[in-house]
């Protein structure tokens, strides 16, 4: 019989040691190993929870282990991390069961190390109410411990957004996200999807802003539901849905989506255009383009034209050819930590600085494809202002033929409207962090 905690340790090893994507490797192991529904849920909880609170957990372990935890056996360290997560953040699993499971699992590695695991966890339980590590240091250090962020990332949010909003970003980035789906208006009406999901035992509510957004509060895996398989719905965060809505789309337009994969925005654009006109779905990677094709086929989207090329490199056929150009550029992803908590540990300042050059190259190149009076839309799923506000300000200064158009969805607590016109969506219960700017070409 496969031990779900053993599966969780395997996933954590791939994510933390090999920089694998949590959602991809988790899905792979869940599909490969014969786990029942309850055990699949436990593995998912342990993986995402441990990744989410790794900084805090490691700080605790540091105070109970004399040696450098970075030099410990990786599997033993992840067993300890996973166990402290259960003991500190989960209430349904009895403490003795957590410790016993950890000891038995670590015995597979080493009887000697299993004694270390037992000692550390029991020591933590004896002293959990008098921990000193959560009170050490300045205010920033305490935020890092409370919300489990490395100092440089916490400082980035606090410096760029101020203490109140910055702390809110830290807090809300730890929210366990609900699944949001987009109703495919090419195939079905919103009310029909709503009624069908209710009939099948799902607890649902309307999206916050987009009329086609529907939030799954509770229910079984939506991707196994016939509504998904038939293309009536697709999984997409509502922040991401906002992008197509700001594009002022009309039927029979020519639209370029230069960073298309996996195709959520391209297909949404096609749906809003009612399968008319042309939507060029472009991406650098051929294997990712196959995902766009699969999504379009399932959704009944017929007006996509597929292209594999580098968005930084000029393509002559698109010169002044598009009514709308979307560049959802590669970014640091600091707005989607809710869904991919490993971003806290896999990103660093150098990698973000390198992205800015790519983002600006894509923006300059994409601007050549916009018709006069056409529109260029820039979006990211990060909250780093260097990749967002500063990039747009730089571009407008270099390209005075483009002017920012104001974006306005109404009064929402998690949307920051900059006076220049672009918006920042902050993470909350229902939406990821996002940034969108819309620019019109006047000459």
Which residues are known to be catalytic? 381
316 is in an annotated binding site: no
259 is in an annotated binding site: yes
Q: Do the beta carbons of residue 139 and residue 43 sit within 8 Å?
A: no
Alpha-carbon distance of 76 to 83, in angstroms, equals: 11
Q: Is the dihedral of CA 11, 46, 234, 307 positive or negative?
A: negative
283 is in an annotated binding site: yes
264 is in an annotated binding site: yes
Q: Do the beta carbons of residue 121 and residue 98 sit within 8 Å?
A: yes
Token pair 């571009």: residue: 395
162 is in an annotated binding site: no
Alpha-carbon distance of 47 to 26, in angstroms, equals: 8
Alpha-carbon distance of 392 to 376, in angstroms, equals: 11
Alpha-carbon distance of 96 to 93, in angstroms, equals: 9
Q: Which tokens in the block code for residue 194?
A: 């709503």
133 is in an annotated binding site: no
Alpha-carbon distance of 103 to 280, in angstroms, equals: 55
**Helical (H) or strand (E) element with 293:** helix 286-299
Token pair 């799902």: residue: 202
Cis-peptide, bond into residue 262, ω within 30° of zero: yes
Give 430's DSSP letter.
Answer: S
62 is in an annotated binding site: no
- Burial of residue 380, with CB atoms counted within 10 A of its CB: 0-12 exposed, 13-18 middle, 19 or more buried: buried
Give 410's DSSP letter.
Answer: -
Alpha-carbon distance of 246 to 409, in angstroms, equals: 9
**Helical (H) or strand (E) element with 417:** strand 415-417
Q: Which tokens in the block code for residue 237?
A: 């965060």
Contacts of 237 by beta carbon, 8 Å cutoff, 6+ apart: 177, 180, 336, 339, 431, 432
Alpha-carbon distance of 102 to 374, in angstroms, equals: 59
Q: Which tokens in the block code for residue 428?
A: 């909350």
CB-based burial, 318-340: b 16+ in 10 Å, e otherwise? beebbbbbbbbbbbbbbbbbbbb
Alpha-carbon distance of 304 to 378, in angstroms, equals: 20
203 is in an annotated binding site: no
Q: Which tokens in the block code for residue 442?
A: 């006047």
For the annotated binding site, the residues are: 259-265, 283, 310, 328
For the annotated binding site for S-adenosyl-L-methionine, the residues are: 259-265, 283, 310, 328
């Amino acid at each position: 019989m496969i031990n779900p905690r053993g599966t969780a340790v395997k996933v954590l090893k791939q994510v933390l040691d090999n920089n694998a994507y949590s959602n991809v490797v988790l899905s792979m192991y869940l599909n490969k190993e014969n786990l029942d529904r309850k055990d699949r849920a436990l593995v998912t909880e342990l993986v995402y929870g441990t990744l989410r609170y790794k900084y805090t957990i490691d700080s605790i372990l540091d105070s109970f282990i004399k040696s450098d935890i970075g030099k410990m056996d990786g599997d033993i360290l992840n067993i300890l991390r996973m166990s402290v997560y259960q003991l500190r953040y989960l209430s349904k699993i009895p403490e003795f069961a957590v410790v016993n499971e950890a000891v038995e699992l670590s015995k597979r590695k080493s009887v000697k190390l299993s004694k270390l695991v037992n000692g550390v966890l029991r020591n933590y339980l004896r002293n959990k109410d008098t921990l000193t590590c959560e009170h050490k240091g300045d205010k920033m250090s305490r935020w890092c411990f409370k919300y489990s962020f490395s100092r440089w990332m916490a400082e980035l949010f606090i410096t760029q957004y101020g203490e109140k909003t910055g702390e809110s970003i830290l807090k809300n980035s730890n929210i366990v996200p609900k699944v949001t789906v987009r109703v495919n208006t090419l195939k079905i009406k919103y009310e029909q999807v709503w009624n069908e999901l209710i009939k099948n035992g799902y607890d649902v509510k309307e999206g916050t802003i987009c009329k086609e957004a529907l939030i799954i509060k509770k229910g079984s895996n939506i991707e196994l539901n016939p509504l998904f398989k038939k293309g009536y719905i697709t999984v997409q965060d509502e922040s991401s849905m906002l992008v197509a809505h700001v594009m002022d789309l009309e039927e029979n337009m020519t639209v370029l989506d230069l960073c298309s994969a996996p195709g959520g925005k391209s297909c949404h654009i096609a749906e809003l255009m009612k399968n008319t006109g042309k939507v060029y779905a472009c991406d650098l990677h051929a294997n990712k383009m196959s995902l766009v094709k699969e999504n379009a086929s399932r959704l009944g989207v017929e007006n996509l034209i597929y292209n594999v090329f580098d968005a930084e490199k000029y393509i002559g056929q698109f010169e002044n050819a598009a009514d709308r150009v979307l560049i959802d550029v590669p970014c640091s992803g600091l707005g989607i930590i809710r869904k991919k908590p490993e971003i806290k540990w896999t990103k660093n300042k150098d990698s973000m600085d390198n992205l800015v050059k790519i983002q600006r190259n894509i923006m300059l190149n994409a601007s050549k494809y916009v018709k006069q009076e056409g529109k260029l839309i820039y979006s990211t799923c990060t909250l780093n202002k260097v990749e967002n506000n500063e990039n747009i300000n730089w571009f407008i200064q270099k390209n005075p033929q483009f002017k920012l158009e104001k974006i306005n969805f109404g009064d929402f607590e998690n949307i920051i409207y900059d006076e220049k016109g672009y918006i920042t969506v902050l993470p909350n219960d229902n939406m990821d962090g996002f940034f969108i700017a819309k620019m019109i070409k006047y000459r």
